[in-house]
């Protein structure tokens, strides 16, 4: 963003606040299957913690936290995790996203559903985080920010 007069207080405050928002985002993702929240909300919280650094300090400091050219590959990786889980369950003889058929040894059907939902929520969170960061980066591109 337009960082005409960089304020060290704002930079220090956002650097203090950003990891706590990120930890809360991970909490929401990992508790998504038995409490409110899930992949979308947790991914949005992770994106907010990245955008906070991006809006307070320019791209040079923000690139130390999350490189902007990594956004598109990570978004594609999240989609691959989601559809890969569903298609593996389909190949093993079930329906699409039928978690009971996932080939993880030593787990019962209930545990397989538990872990399957966690895996696809990690994929959703990764995609939502990177796509929201990508939207911000493309909105401010072309301007002399920091």
Residues that bind other proteins (CB under 8 A): 1-2, 36-38, 40-41, 44-45, 47-48, 51, 55, 132, 135-136, 139-140, 143
Minimum distance, C-beta of residue 25 to other proteins, in the bound complex (Å) = 9
Tally DSSP H helices, then E strands, for the chain: 5, 0
Q: Which is nearer to other proteins, 35 or 106 (CB)?
A: 35
Q: Which is nearer to other proteins, 82 or 136 (CB)?
A: 136
Q: Which is nearer to other proteins, 64 or 135 (CB)?
A: 135
Minimum distance, C-beta of residue 45 to other proteins, in the bound complex (Å) = 6
Q: Which is nearer to other proteins, 38 or 123 (CB)?
A: 38
Minimum distance, C-beta of residue 142 to other proteins, in the bound complex (Å) = 9
According to DSSP, residue 108 is labeled -
For 62, 88, 128, the CA distances from 96, given in Å and listed in that order, are 38, 8, 22
Minimum distance, C-beta of residue 49 to other proteins, in the bound complex (Å) = 10
For 40, 69, 133, the CA distances from 66, given in Å and listed in that order, are 19, 9, 9
Q: Is the distance from CB of 116 to CB of 104 less than 8 angstroms?
A: no
Minimum distance, C-beta of residue 62 to other proteins, in the bound complex (Å) = 13
User: Rounded distance, CA 81 to CA 72, Å?
Assistant: 14
For 31, 55, 89, 123, the CA distances from 110, given in Å and listed in that order, are 16, 43, 15, 21
Q: Which is nearer to other proteins, 41 or 63 (CB)?
A: 41
């Amino acid at each position: 963003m337009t960082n005409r007069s960089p304020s060290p207080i704002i930079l220090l405050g956002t650097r203090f606040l950003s990891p706590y928002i990120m930890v809360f985002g991970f909490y929401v993702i990992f508790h998504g299957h038995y409490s409110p929240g899930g992949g979308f909300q947790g991914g949005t919280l992770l994106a907010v913690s990245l955008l906070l650094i991006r809006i307070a300090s320019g791209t040079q400091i923000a690139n130390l936290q999350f490189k902007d050219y990594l956004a598109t590959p990570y978004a594609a990786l999240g989609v691959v995790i989601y559809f890969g889980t569903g298609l593996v369950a389909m190949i093993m003889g079930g329906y699409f996203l039928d978690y009971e058929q996932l080939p993880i040894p030593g787990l019962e059907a209930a545990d397989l559903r538990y872990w399957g939902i966690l895996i696809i929520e990690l994929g959703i969170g990764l995609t939502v985080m990177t796509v929201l960061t990508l939207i911000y980066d493309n909105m401010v591109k072309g301007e002399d920010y920091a």
